[in-house]
Structure 1
C-alpha cells in the first residue's frame, strides 16, 4: 500500500507557518508588538484550518474521493494545534505568564471566555479523533463531532470581538462559514449529489 503523498504535504504546509512567524518575530519583522501579532496569526490560522476541515465533506460528496475525509482528520488536528499555540501565546505574551490574571480576564473580557469555550470544544474533538475513539463511541461519535458546527460559530464570534476594526475580513470568514454550514442542510446536500451525478454522466458521455 502506497503512503499517501498528501500527508507529508499537509504536515509541511501546516507546520511551516508558525515556524515562519516565529522567524519573523526573531528578526523583529512583526512590528512593535510581535507577541500580539503572533497570537493573532495563530488564532486566524486556526479559524482557516477549521473552515478547511468543514469543506472536506462537501468536497468528498462532490468528487467521490475518500481521501478528503482523511485530510479532514489531519486538518482538524492541526486546527487544535494552532488553537493550543494561540492560547499558549496569549498566556505568555499578553498575560506575561501571570496565570493568576486569567480569571480576571475571563470576567472582564467576554471574547476571552468565548474563545476559551471554542478551545474546549476543539479539545473534545481532538481527543475523540482516533479510530479507538470511533470504535468506543460507536454511533455517538458522529453526534459528538457535530460540535464542530457550534464551534465554528463560537470561533467566529470570538474573532468578531477581536477584529472589530477590520470587519471586512471577518465577513469573508463568516460568509465562508455560513456557506459551509448550509451545505450540510439536507436539501443543499441533495443538490450537491445531483450535481455530482450530472458531472459523472457527462464524463461517461465524453468517453
Structure 2
C-alpha cells in the first residue's frame, strides 16, 4: 500500500478530483489502474464516464436518494452506458465484496498518516499545506519500502537525495557569495541616503545578508 497521488484543493467536495488523481497515477506509472475504489464523494457521473472511456472500472457507492423508493442499482433512462453499468455493478455481491478492501487500504493509509502527526496544519496557504502533506506521504512511502524489503534501494535513494541536497546548498552558498557584496553595497547606499535625508529620525537600514 503506497500513495501514488496527492493534492490539496480549495473546494468542499471531491466531485472533480477523480480525473486529476488518475492523471497523477498515469504520470508516475505510465498507465492507469484497471480498477479504482473511491468513496461516494468522487462518484460524479461525468468523471465515471471519462474513467470508463480510459479503461478504468470505478467502484463507488451509489448514494440513496432520500424520500425515493427506487432501486438505486438499476440503470436510469438518463444514464449513459458507463454510468448505467456502474449502478448495476455496485449492486452485485462481487462488487460489494471488492469494495470492502477500500477500508483496509485507503482508510488504513489515512490512519497511518494521522499517526505520523498530521492531525492539523500549522501553516497557511495551499502551497504550504501541500508541501507538508507531501512530506508526510513521502515518509509513509519510505516506511512501506522498508516493509516490502527494499532496504538497499532505499539506501541508494537516500544517498542520492543527500547528494542533491548538498549540491543545492553548495549552489546557494556560491550564489550568496556572489550576490552578497552587491546587496551590501545597495544597503549601504540606501542607508546613506536615508541618513542624509532624515538624520534626526534615526533611519537606518542594517545589512541583512549573512
| Fold in common (TM above 0.5) | no
Which protein shows a greater Rg?
A: 2
- TM-score, normalized by length of structure 2? 0.29
TM-score between the two structures when normalised by the length of structure 1: 0.29
